[in-house]
Structure 1
Amino acid sequence: MITTAVLQELGASWRDAATYWGPLNATAERYEINTPRRVACWLGQLAHESQGFKRVVENLNYSAQRLLVVFPKYFDAQSAEEYARNPARIASRVYGGRMGNGSEATRDGWHFRGRGLIQITGRENYARCGEALGVDLIKRQSLLEQPMYAALSAGWFWDRAKLNDRADRMDIAGITRAINGGTNGAQDRVELTAKALRALGGL
C-alpha cells in the first residue's frame, strides 16, 4: 500500500522514499495499519516528525530566542543565552529528571533524545520499545536511526497509544496530542495527512 510515490508526495526525496518504503510496509503489516485512513494518518504524522523522512534524530540546535518559545518552562532570558546552540546541554536540561531519565548532570536527556520516525524520547520509552522489538535500546540507542528500527519504533508507539482507533475516526487532533503532547505543527500534520489520503486513493 505504501509506495515510493506516496512518500515522495509527502516530501521524501527519491533516495529516502526508496530507503523507507520497505520498512514502513513491514511495520504497517505488523501493527495492522492497514486501511487508507490508518496509513494516511500514520504517514502524515511521520512525515511531519521526520521533516519528510529526512531526519530520525531530534534537532535541538536552538537559538536563545527559540528556546524561550519552545521550552518556556525550562528557560528564562539568561539561561536561554547560556544554553543556546548547545544541543547536548539543551536536551539534558529539558529531558532531565523525567521519562525515566536521570538528572541533567547524567546527560540522559541527550542520550535518550528523540529518535526514529516518530521521535521515541526518554529512557523509559527506549526501554519499553526495545523490549517490544527484541533489542537493547538502552545500550544501543542509535539502532533507532536505522531505517527498519526507525519505522518499527513508530509502529510500536502508534500501536501502544491505540492510534488506529483514532485514525479510523480521522481524529488528527487527538493523534497529534498523543504524539506531540500538544498541538505543535497541527496544520502541517492535517495537510500531510490529507495528501497521504489522496495519494492512497482513500476517502
Structure 2
Amino acid sequence: MNTTQIKKLQRAVDVHDDGIIGRGTLTAVFKKLGASQSRAEELGLAANVHLKNYGILDNPLRFTHFLSQLAHESGNFRYMEEIASGAAYEGRKDLGNTQPGDGKRFKGRGPIQLTGRANYRKYGQQLGIDFENNPEIVAIPSIGLMVACKFWSDNGLNSLADQDGVQMITRRINGGTNGLADRKAHLAKLRGWIV
C-alpha cells in the first residue's frame, strides 16, 4: 500500500497518520473490526510481521480481501475456535478425519478456521509446530494469524485478491460460498477505510 492509502487507513481507525503501517495501525484495525483490546494487540503484533512476509500488505486489494475473509470466519475476530462442536466433521475423509473423535478434535480454529486433521498436519509441518498432536495451539491468535497467512499463500489467494475475486477466494477458504454477503459487506467497509 502506498503512503496516501496508509494515511487514509490510519485516519479511519483513529491513529496518528504518519503513513507507516506497523503494529499500532494494525492493532487499531483489528480493534475497529471487533477484536477485544488484548486480542487486537496480539493480532496486530503478529500481523506486523506476517502480513509483510506474505505480501498481503503489498496493495489494498490483498489487505482488504484478507481481513474481510478473516473477519467473517472469526466473527469479527471474537472467536478463535469454532462455536459448533465439530461433530459435523466426524468421518470427513476429505478433511483427513479418519480416526474417531477427529471431527471435534480438528474443528475450525484461528481467524481462518483451519479445519480437519489433514490441514492441521500440513500446516503444522510447514510451520514447524506440531498442530496435529496439539490442535488447540491454532486457537492462539498470533499462531492462528500465522496459519491464516500460510493458508492464504498456499492457496494462491493474493493473485485472486489482485483480481478482486471475492467469490473465488470464498470458495478456496470455505469450500462454497457460505457467508458471501457478510464477506462482501466487510470488504466494502474495509475498502472505505483505504480507497
Give TM-score scaled by structure 2 length. 0.81
Unaligned runs of 5+ in 1: 61-86
Deviations 1:92-120 (A, max 9, x none): 453324111115xx101111111111011
Partner of 1:43: 67
CA RMSD of aligned residues (A): 1.5
Pair 1:59–1:137, CA change in 2 (3 A):
same
1:186 aligns with 2:187: no
Deviation for aligned residue 1:8: 3.1
Deviation for aligned residue 1:193: 1.3
Contact 1:33/1:164 (CA < 8 Å) preserved in 2? yes
Q: Distance in 1 between matches of 2:44 and 2:150?
A: 17
Give TM-score scaled by structure 1 length. 0.78
Deviations 1:70-127 (A, max 9, x none): xxxxxxxxxxxxxxxxx2xxx3453324111115xx1011111111110111111001
1:102 aligns with 2:125: no
3-state SS of paired residue (2:80): coil
The one of the two structures with greater contact order (alpha-carbon pairs below 8 A, sep at least 6) is 1
Pair 1:174–1:56, CA change in 2 (3 A):
same
Between the aligned residues of both structures, percent identity stands at 38
Q: How many correspondences in the alignment? A: 170
Task: Please give the residue correspondences for 1:52-91 in structure 2 after superposition, counting only pairs within 5 Å.
Answer: 52-60=76-84, 87=85, 91=86
Aligned match of 1:5 in 24, 28, 31?
A: 28
What is the identity, as a one-letter code, of the residue corresponding to 2:90?
Y
